[in-house]
Amino acid sequence: RGDEPLAERGDRGPLAEASDPPGSPARAQQEAGTGPLAARSDAGPEDGSARLEADSAEPGREPGSGRGRRRRRGRRGGERVREAERELDELDLGPPLSEADRPEAALHEESEDEPAIAAAEDRPSADADESAQPDVEDSAEPVAALAGEEDEEDEAVEPEPPPERLRPRQRRARAAICVRNDPDALLAALVLARDRRHITFFWTCSQEQLMDFFRGRATDVGEDTDLLMVGFTAEPIPRETVQTAELFRGRLQWFDAHEWAIEDAEALRDAIGEDSVVVTEKASSPLVAVSEVTERRSRFTDKLVDFSARRLPEHEMEKWGYRLVGLIQKLMGGAGDYRSSISPVLAGKPSDLPAPTGVYQEEDRWLAEHDPRIVHFGEYQLAVVQVPENLDASEVGRRARLRTGSRLSLATRDGDAVVILGANDEKRNLNLMGVAERVDSSVDWAHARPAGDRGGRLLVDGLFENPERLDAVILEIVKHKSVLYG
């Protein structure tokens, strides 16, 4: 009721007279005792209490139904009303207010706007409704369906077991070795023989004599013995070689570092098994392939690897290194079984090998007549030698380092496109293979060839037609000297 003017509420209660200014008709009637307010004021306490009861009665409850305490409250309320009327009569309220100046008008305007603003604030936007309020009717069925599908999948599909790891090739207790009569292949076969221990025979022959071995000595290999081939290709007749090797499927294992025709390598894998062919075509020695399967390591086996890279100091070469060289030369003498000759190597006592005579005489003589070229860079010295094709380039490089006090050597051999980078045995080994790989990445015509002995080897294309490429290799080694200790 706050929006109604006070002048129109004269008959709404005892406070209505406060709005009648002096001199108004309502005020005159009140003073004369003839107006409605006078009638109410003449009414007794009972009438005032009844009126108050009627105004304060709850909806649906008849007035006058209250008794006792309610009646007494009515009397006290009437007395308070009369006191308020008398106080208002004594006040000078001034001229009446216009409709625009009344506070109820401003309150009425604000009350009309506030519900609209509140409704606008409480009402969520359409975007928020779409993003925040899920469509229950549309999403209930798909969610239930997905839940049902997940339950069905959980019941129907069991978790897959982890994939079974490929089992390594099973070894037999004994092994027989056939190796090509090549120094690198023979040294790799000795490392393999030390790993297998129980060797029934150690056969050496040339590539041309391979089929003779299969038709002869290989037929004596029992079912409880593995047959290990080291350093051979499928030549001269690949189809015949592969068909013969298939007769030993399950027992034969092949190690090599030569380049194979793709069809020959695939045919051999199909014939004797994928895990039975270990061919590392980009290596310079079968020692890389052998190192992939060896399981036993010993100090002497590591010394054999150092011997392959010619890192042994001179006192160890004199103690057993030259004896080992004499054994390898003997194994290259002709086809046959040399099981008894390699017994000291299998036992780890190479000093028991017979003392050789005339080992590296040609290499020593050539080095006495030719001074190596020395390249100084940083804290390193590089001895460069180019030897005839009948000499051991690795050994000449070792002796050149020993003679000149250089830490590094670079040796090549006539008729061979492989450049050998060697170093002395130091407390911290130099990263020769890392340097070779860096040279490989720097020029297109040089290719790193690992040998399984931590040495550095590079295959240089067109080295004979372009001898200046050797100087380019030296320049790349100097540029990447930081890799030596990398």
Percent of residues, the chain, with pLDDT higher than 70: 66
Taking only the tens place, the pLDDT of each residue in 311-356 is 999 999 999 999 999 999 999 989 999 999 999 999 999 999 999 8
What pTM was estimated for this model as a whole? 0.65
Taking only the tens place, the pLDDT of each residue in 365-404 is 999 999 999 999 989 999 999 999 999 999 999 999 999 9
Tell me 230's DSSP state.
E
User: In whole angstroms, what is the distance from residue 433 CA to residue 172 CA?
Assistant: 34
pLDDT at residue 80, rounded to an integer: 72
Question: Which are the contacts of 463, defined by CB distance < 8 A and separation ≥ 6?
Answer: 412, 417, 419, 469, 470
User: In whole angstroms, what is the distance from residue 400 CA to residue 420 CA?
Assistant: 13
Most confident of the following: 51-55, 158-162, 237-241: 237-241
Taking only the tens place, the pLDDT of each residue in 78-117 is 677 677 667 666 655 555 555 545 544 444 444 444 444 3
Taking only the tens place, the pLDDT of each residue in 269-286 is 999 999 999 999 889 899
Least confident of 140-149, 416-425, 431-440: 140-149
- Complete DSSP assignment for 303-371: HHHHHHTT---HHHIIIIIHHHHHHHHHHTSSSEE-TTTTHHHHTT-GGGSPPPSSTTHHHHHHHHHSP
Taking only the tens place, the pLDDT of each residue in 30-54 is 454 544 444 444 444 444 444 434 4
Q: Which amino acid belongs to residue 102?
A: R
